[in-house]
Structure 1
Amino acid sequence: MDPFHALVLLNAVFACAAWSLAKPSWAAAIALITTSILWLFFNHPIEGKVLYSIDYETGLTESDFVSAAGLLLAGVTVIRCRRVGS
């Protein structure tokens, strides 16, 4: 994957996050979960520094926090959707 496609996916994560914040819905949460998980697998061209190394090929990088933030925001969106539905 080249950096262009990685940046497109990163923009998709940000767009889904904005959608989840602006108008929380189940669709927004699912889209954010999907793009956040995909980001973990396709962020290699723009990963950044390795913060914690598991072995010489695997570790936690700066860009992995984008996925963590996306999944956390998706969880908040699900909670907000459940409160509105109750």
Structure 2
Amino acid sequence: MPTTDPFHALVLMNAVFASAAWSLAKPSWPAAISLGVASVLWLFFNAPIEGAVLYVVDADRGLTESDFLTVAGLILAASTIARVRRIQRSDVDS
């Protein structure tokens, strides 16, 4: 698991939040892709600010509070893709 300092973890967390805001405010393919990438990166680089372990897999691994940010980001990215496709489809039908 890659390690990083808390500053870089917070910068990446802010990137997830900014991408999520972009996806909600103006749904587009770049917004969804940036949110998906930032969310997956967050899963690997959140070690310094993970929070409590909610489910233990083994002695070194487990599901933490901050892992849910990845899940929420990926769900929002999928929702953004669905919204973009719906908008594109309605433009073609018009």
Q: What number of residue pairs does the alignment pair up?
A: 86
Tell me by how many angstroms 1:35 deviates: 0.1
Per-residue CA deviation, residues 30-68 of structure 1 (Å, 9 max, x unaligned), is 000000000000000000000000101111000000000
- Where does structure 1 lack aligned partners over 5 or more consecutive residues? none
Looking at structure 2, the residues matched to 53 and 25 of structure 1 have their Cα atoms a distance apart, in angstroms, of 37
Give, in angstroms, the shift of residue 8 of structure 1: 0.3
1:50 equivalent in structure 2: 53
Structure 2 distance, partners of 1:58, 1:31, is 27
Where structure 2 has 5 or more consecutive residues not aligned to the other structure, the ranges are 90-94
**Bigger Rg, which one:** 2
TM-score by length of 1: 0.99
Runs of 4+ in 1 over 6 A off after TM superposition: none
| C-alpha distance in 1 between matches for 2:55 and 2:39 | 20
The aligned residue for residue 86 of structure 2 is: 83
